[in-house]
Amino acid sequence: MQIRTPHHTLDLSSRVHVMGILNVTPDSFSDGGVLATQEKLLDQVADMVAAGVDILDIGGESTRPGAAPVSVREEIERVIPAIREIRRHYTTPISIDTNKADVARLALLEGADIINDISAFRFDPAMLPLAVESEAPVIIMHMQGTPGTMQANPRYNNVVEDIKAELAAWMSTAQAHGLRRDKIIIDPGVGFGKTVDHNLAILKHAHSFTDLGCPVLIGHSRKRFIGTLLDEEVAKNRDFGTAVISALCVRSGVAILRVHDVRKTVQAVKLAQAIDSAV
């Protein structure tokens, strides 16, 4: 199970890979405004690289529940300078977290490797053709509704099977338009149009999503459901809970974990993998 980018080959079958979140936004639920300067951005990247990050995920638009969309121009002004600055110093694979094709196109030109589209190509009709043309790996995520509406009243008949069916349908459409299956990473969308119970079911049955034949990404970091279960309102204080879930995901065949605290996650994954490989 390998994902090839223009600059890297990631062997996702060898171990769980850790994706570090870099929000260059003023309003993200967890760390909005923290990376407001290039110096702070590079300090954060340096910490992640030292901790063993595998992929850097850069986003310029908050997708927290109820978040308002930003313009293409504003998103470009946030993410492109960040990508340029990182590429001046590091060769670490970069994913661009956007649902806008114009943003993704410029990001790829500046050195990004992967497109991370929370809408699974639904918000911008130009995104799928761009993915096919660029041959960049893509992460397609399940979301019920939009960031503005997704937590209003999420409902499923069977949350795991319903998500699998929708992801399979989106994958089929993408492949019909020329996107190669070996370029697809799937994300069941923890926290995106899901209740606490929905999120727990997804995590308990995370192995089920590997049935779709693509690498699976789980993005659970600091999510509200962790705070609800642990009675922890402060997002940054949910990192230990995040690490516990990360360790549990190791046995579920998950390929990528998208997190804020890379160091805790890398340590959790190493311990879990060491236990699994013990005689």
Residues acting as catalytic residues = 223, 258
Q: DSSP assignment of 133-175, as one string?
A: HHT--EEEE--SS-TTTTTSS---SSHHHHHHHHHHHHHHHHH
Measured from the Cβ of residue 180, the count of other Cβ atoms closer than 10 Å reads 12
Secondary structure class of 22 (helix, strand, coil): strand
Q: How far apart are CA 278 and CA 258, in angstroms?
A: 26
Q: Which residues pair with 256 in a beta bridge?
A: 17, 217
13 phi and psi angles, rounded to 5 deg: -90, -10
Length of the chain, in residues: 279
Q: Closest Cα partner for 54 from 22, 91, 101, 18?
A: 18
> Could you give the strand order of the β-sheet that contains 55-59, starting from the edge strand earlier in sequence?
184-187, 138-141, 114-117, 94-97, 55-59, 17-23, 256-259, 217-218
Q: How far apart are CA 192 and CA 109, in angstroms?
A: 29
**How far is 187 from 141, CA to CA, in rounded Å?**
4
* Alpha carbons 266 and 33: distance in angstroms, whole number: 25
